[in-house]
């Protein structure tokens, strides 16, 4: 089975590709990634020499490249996305290119080439702020950031292609995930690194915004199950029910790194900051039998330990120095399609 992982050099891909290679023997994985600031092949150094794995540099926003790389593929899992809300507030263009046009290109290629299955990874942010209760798979989209709007547009296209052309697509909405290899701009790795380096952590507004969290390995298992047992045309929410204000996470990170509350710096709130997300993931649990296995405290502890042990990885991410690493490690393989 040939699996195309788009955005495989990003945070989730860097966890999912080794997971798949570990779990299944007879698979072939093509990692198609544009290597934007968030893509880092160094994260995949452990599988780079696996004969079942191949990297192809390319962009889902380029229809010609997508057509070429999709040839002979049995399953596409689309992780490729611009994901950082703060960046989308500064400039949304790349979000529209990747999260809307890119998804359109993938859907068109799936439709024209008759690709058997397409799993599209999306987010709880499409439902907007949920002040009380939970969003289920039928809830109305009310995106409030350019990022969330671009993801919602991609999800609508998936739905339209399933209904209009019978394209075999499954959409997932996931809560915030955390774990090894997350780019250090997101809450958990940013705060962890700042605390380890003796810096302050910028808490937006009052820090009482609530997010729901899932550890990478639990998310990989959820996607795997959806690939195996999920029904085409369906949507699955992936959540743990573990919902917590940012300030509480900040305090846990302070404790794990031996700092104190003086490290907290309250800064101006993010414009349009969604107060709370909460997903109902009953469908995934009852229909497909998934349950999270990692407790938040254990997962957070593991994550902090990982960042402590991977400072070079973080430094290279920050400076973009890993681009040299690509050249050295991959050389000839860094070709576009
Ligand atoms: P983030 O990791 O950016 O994910 P998202 O906004 O997609 O949920 O942020 C998680 C939460 O942490 C969110 O409520 C914003 C908040 N936050 C801060 O308070 N300070 C920061 O520096 C960052 C990056 C996030």
Q: What is the mean pLDDT of the chain?
A: 95
Residue nearest to atom 10 of ligand 1 (CA): 187
- What value does the mean pLDDT take over residues 262-288? 97
| CA torsion through residues 153, 13, 9, 135, sign | positive
Mean pLDDT of 213-217: 98
Q: Is the per-residue pLDDT at 21 higher than 80?
A: yes
The answer, yes or no, to whether any atom of ligand 1 lies below 6 A from the CB of 190, is yes
Ligand 1 contact, 85 CB (< 6 A): yes
Report the alpha-carbon distance of residue 231 to residue 264 in Å, rounded. Answer: 45
User: What pLDDT is attached to residue 329?
Assistant: 60
Contact by Cβ (8 Å): 274, 172 = no
Given a cut of 90, whether residue 128 has pLDDT beyond it is: yes
Q: Is the CB of 29 under 6 A from ligand 1?
A: no
Domains of the chain: 2-333 (3.40.50.720)
Find out whether 326 and 279 touch, Cβ atoms under 8 Å: no
8 A C-beta contact, residue 6 and residue 80: yes
Q: What is the mean pLDDT of residues 12-34?
A: 98
CA dihedral in degrees (128, 134, 138, 141; nearest 10)? 0
Q: What is the mean pLDDT of residues 114-125?
A: 98
Alpha carbon distances (Å) from 106 to 136, 153, 172, 279:
26, 14, 16, 27
pLDDT tens by residue, 219-258: 999 999 999 999 999 999 999 999 999 999 999 999 999 9
Q: How far is CA 21 from CA 1, 47, 252, in A?
A: 12, 8, 33
Give the pLDDT confidence score for residue 247 in this predicted structure.
98
C-alpha 195: how far from its chain's center?
A: 24
Q: Which positions are catalytic?
A: 124-125, 147
pLDDT for 85 equals 97
Question: What confidence tier does 328 reach under pLDDT thresholds 50, 70, 90?
Answer: low
Neighbouring CB atoms inside 10 A of 262's CB total 8
**Each residue of 54-95: pLDDT tens digit?**
999 999 999 999 999 999 999 999 999 999 999 999 999 999
Look at ligand 1, atom 7, and give the residue with the nearest C-alpha.
Answer: 85
Q: Whose CA is nearest to atom 25 of ligand 1?
A: 187
Maximal CA-CA distance, the chain: 57
Nearest of 174, 177, 234, 192 to residue 14 by alpha carbon: 177
How many A from CA of 103 to the centre of ligand 1? Answer: 25
pTM score: 0.96
75-78 vs 176-178, strand pairing mode: unpaired
CB 252 within 8 A of CB 108: no
Q: For residue 123, which atom of ligand 1 is closest to its CA?
A: 7
Q: Is the distance from the beta carbon of residue 145 to the nearest atom of ligand 1 less than 6 Å?
A: no
Q: Return the pLDDT at 319.
A: 81
Nearest-5° angle of CA 308, CA 313, CA 316?
130
Instruction: Give the residue, out of 90, 174, 186, with the most ligand 1 atoms within 8 A of its beta carbon, to mutate for a pocket test.
Output: 186
């Amino acid at each position: 089975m040939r699996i195309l992982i788009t955005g495989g050099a990003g945070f989730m891909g860097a966890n999912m590709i080794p997971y798949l290679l570990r779990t299944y023997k007879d698979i072939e994985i093509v990692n198609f990634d544009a290597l934007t600031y968030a893509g880092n092949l160094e994260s995949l150094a452990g599988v780079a020499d696996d004969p079942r794995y191949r990297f192809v540099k390319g962009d889902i926003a380029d229809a010609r490249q997508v057509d070429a790389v999709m040839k002979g593929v049995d399953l596409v899992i689309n992780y490729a996305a611009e994901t950082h809300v703060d960046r989308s507030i500064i400039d949304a263009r790349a979000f529209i290119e990747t999260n809307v046009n890119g998804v359109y290109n993938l859907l068109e290629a799936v439709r024209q080439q008759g690709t058997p299955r397409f799993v599209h990874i999306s987010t709880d942010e499409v439902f907007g702020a949920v002040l009380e209760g939970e969003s289920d798979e039928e809830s109305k989209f009310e995106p409030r950031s350019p990022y969330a709007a671009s993801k919602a547009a991609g999800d609508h296209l998936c739905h339209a292609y399933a209904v209009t052309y019978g394209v075999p697509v499954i959409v997932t909405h996931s809560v915030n995930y955390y774990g090894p290899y997350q780019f250090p701009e997101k809450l958990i790795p940013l705060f962890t690194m700042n605390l380890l380096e003796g810096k302050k952590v910028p808490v937006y507004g009052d820090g009482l915004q609530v997010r729901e969290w899932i550890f990478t390995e639990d998310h990989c298992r959820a996607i795997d199950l959806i690939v195996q047992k999920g029904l085409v045309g369906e949507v699955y929410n992936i959540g743990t029910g573990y919902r917590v204000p940012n300030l509480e996470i900040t305090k846990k990170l302070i404790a794990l790194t031996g700092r104190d509350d003086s490290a907290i710096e309250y800064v101006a709130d993010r414009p349009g900051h969604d107060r709370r997300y909460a997903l109902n993931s009953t469908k995934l649990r009852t229909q497909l039998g998934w349950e999270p296995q990692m407790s938040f405290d254990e997962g957070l502890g593991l994550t902090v330990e990982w960042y402590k042990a991977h400072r070079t990885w973080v430094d290279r991410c920050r400076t973009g120095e890993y681009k040299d690493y690509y050249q050295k490690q991959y050389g000839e393989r860094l070709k576009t399609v």
